[in-house]
Amino acid sequence: MRRQFPSMFNTDQPRGKQRFSTPAPCIVKRTDFHMYVLSEPSQFTPKGSEELELAHAGLGKRMLSIPDHLKHDEIVALLEEEYPKLKTLQGGWMFFKSTGGSGRRKLSIIPTDAEGYSTTLLKSASNNGKNIVFVVPLQEKLSTEPLSYNSVEFAKMPQSKCITCGSQMPLQLLPLHVEGCNGTLTESESGTCLDEDCSVLEQPVPSTIGMDESLAVCPICLASYPADVLPFHASTCGDRMNCAQPA
């Protein structure tokens, strides 16, 4: 029987209905680029001291992972999402690359293809993402005013806290903040009133204060203070008046 009906007794072949093979998932290849957005037209790379200033303004250097199949419009949309200020830029911008060497280097433009920029073109110009690609405005200057820490430009950045003033901010901006921080804690954080904080409380209330705030008059110096500040002021006002009088 096996010789007459070999297909019936062949156990090596799969039995039952043949199923379609599951297609392999499509893997999108990406390339990481070091992007650096400048604030104004320039022929040279920015100074090292300008990096934190540009970062605080929502510009500067970032790492972008770009799919290898993107075309011009898709690359522009990706950059505008990462750098919202580019949406308002008038006069256009283009990609630049820097020449070799150290220090400030000269920038050279990356020419576009007939259909504009593409990921393939940027990979070729940046040595597969190893070199920085600069985004340089052609005519208009972008604002370098510092942005608030809760701006959309910093939404993806890791956050950190200043131990002196308690402000929550992006980790990248913390070094610049520390340089200008006055180093004083608030009364609620330290539990004590430092000299600078006390001097603010002892200042007379300006005449433009809102009428809805309750005021009280110090019986010693006859100056008006908020009711919750007056007890502290009165405790030191008498001492200052006594010291001012001649013996």
CA angle 6, 9, 12 (to 5 degrees): 100
Q: Which of 23-37, 78-92, 117-131, 159-173 has the lowest mean pLDDT?
A: 159-173
- pLDDT at position 200, please? 39
Q: Which of 57-61, 86-90, 170-174 has the lowest mean pLDDT?
A: 170-174
Q: Could you state, in order of their start, the residue ranges of all structural domains in the chain?
A: 30-137, 148-183, 189-205+213-244
Tens digit of each residue's pLDDT (9 = 90 or more) over 206-216: 444 444 456 77
**Average pLDDT estimate for 95-123:** 90
From residue 241, give the alpha-carbon distance in Å to each of 89, 212, 232.
Answer: 60, 30, 15
- pLDDT at position 185, please? 41
- pLDDT at position 77, please? 94
**Average pLDDT estimate for 66-82:** 93
**Biggest CA pair distance of the chain:** 134
30-137 fold = Ubiquitin-like (UB roll) (3.10.20)
Residue 14's pLDDT band (boundaries 50, 70, 90)?
Answer: low
